[in-house]
Chain A
Amino acid sequence: MPEIDDIQLVKRVAQGDERAFLTLYDCYVSRIYGLTVRILGDPMLAEEATQDTFLKLWSRAHTYLAERGSLLLWLLTIARRTALDRLRLERRRPTLSDSNDPTEALQTIPNGDSLPEENRWRSMHFAVQALSPEHRQVIELAYYQGLSQSEIAEVLGWPLGTVKTRLRAAMDHLRQDWGAR
């Protein structure tokens, strides 16, 4: 969907237009739900976090600033914070590996994405999967489970310096990989 359409739709949502809200819901809900499932690992909790995210879109649409990024990025950022807050509330400890089997996840993808959009997230997803297990693990714990470096060191039983080194190396790998695309 072109960015200009998103901006118009968000303006209409800010004015209380339910149809515009549902259009954005249909467009982005699978991305939001996918992220919340990834973070929370529980379909019921993920559904609740997804619902909260869209209720925030409904009540805070007027705060969205297009110059700061795409609407999808804004919604995913809200969804991540909402899901991490819930994760802390539930006191769930993180899994030590990517709980979502990528093959299985790819089979559940709806057909709503346009081809360029689908190619984009697929390439990013495979870049993460291409990291070494240690690098993928620290990215998973830091970004998708909301743990600090010292918490990761405690969970994995690694020295803090090792965690810092591996986290930085993982980010550099991704930065180079995505920068080259």
Chain B
Amino acid sequence: MTYYEHVPFRENIPAYALGALDAEEVAALEAHLRTCASCRDELAAYRSTSESLLMAVPPQKPPAALRRRLQRQLAGGQKAARPRLNWSFSRVAAGVAIVLLLALNVFSVLQVRALRSQQAQLTDQIQNGQMALAMLSYPNTQSFPIKEASVTGSLLLDTEYNNAVLILRGLPSISDDQTYQVWLIAPNGERTSAGLVRPQADLPFLSEPISSAQNLSNFVGIGMTIEPAGGSDSPTGLQIFRVDF
């Protein structure tokens, strides 16, 4: 290879030593370097110059916290880990926004769930009220008044269609681990559970249908007690009222 053939490659060697050649020039020069010893020597000399540029920068004392942080990382065995030192405001703000959105989303889901539950309870109450009104219009419906301490109300009973509705006001408050339980009383005194009742706190009265697998005409009375949450097999707690048919 003649001197003139070397020229375009040799001219690029200083830039190559600085890492400043464009990609296509790098490929061409590296192909040439593989076959040209004199250009490799030239590159070694310029590399020495570029390495000296690394040495030519004045030292500066870093913050003392850097040494402590590195020590902690070594002690924690986090060789490859690296704490983010420069959390930008936008990153922090984005993180906070995501957390707030998630919280808002969870709050909305809970609110919707609570509203649906309230709606279902109100629907039940309306249906129970409609049932009570319908029963009052039946000629065979019997009405039994209830008055026991603060509790007042009525029992509407239609043995022909096997329907009964309890309408109560002034029930004493109970704790979360308690429930009201309705009992049907057989002629021999045996009690059969007719369901658990938990009145809504924001409603002044309770309107509750009574369910029974047996014909209600088989029973002679109805009563209510306070039982542990989940109910009992037979009455164990305070009696709220008793009505005999």
What residues make up the interface of A, taking CB atoms closer than 8 Å to B? 18, 21-22, 25-26, 29-31, 33-35, 37-38, 43-48, 50-52, 54-55, 58-59, 69, 72-73, 76-77, 80, 100, 102, 105-106, 108-110, 112-113, 120-121, 124-125, 127-128, 139, 142-144, 146-150, 152, 164, 167-168, 171-172, 174-175, 178
Beta-carbon contact of A30 and B59 below 8 Å: yes
Beta-carbon contact of B60 and A175 below 8 Å: no
- Given known pairs A38-B57, A109-B60, A128-B56, the reply for A44 and B85 (CB within 8 Å) is yes
Chain B interface size, as a band, is: 35 or more
Can you list the 6 inter-chain pairs with the closest CB atoms, starting with the nearest? Answer: A124-B56, A30-B59, A142-B20, A171-B14, A33-B62, A105-B58
Q: Which stretch (B43-51, B154-162, B218-226) binds chain A?
A: B43-51
Of residues 83 through 117 on chain B, the ones whose CB sits less than 8 Å from some CB of chain A are 85-86
Q: Min CB distance, A90 to chain B, in Å?
A: 10
Report Cα–Cα, A73/B56, bound state, in Å: 11
- Given known pairs A80-B54, A167-B15, the reply for A52 and B21 (CB within 8 Å) is no
Beta-carbon contact of B82 and A51 below 8 Å: yes
For B11, B58, B80, the residue with the greatest tally of chain A CB atoms inside 10 Å of its CB is: B58
Q: How many A-B residue pairs have CB under 8 A?
A: 155
Report Cα–Cα, A46/B49, bound state, in Å: 24
- Given known pairs A171-B46, A171-B49, A174-B53, the reply for A148 and B60 (CB within 8 Å) is no
Report Cα–Cα, A171/B34, bound state, in Å: 23
Residues of chain B lying within 8 A (CB to CB) of residue A80:
54
Beta-carbon contact of B52 and A174 below 8 Å: yes
Report Cα–Cα, A110/B79, bound state, in Å: 28
Q: Min CB distance, B44 to chain A, in Å?
A: 12
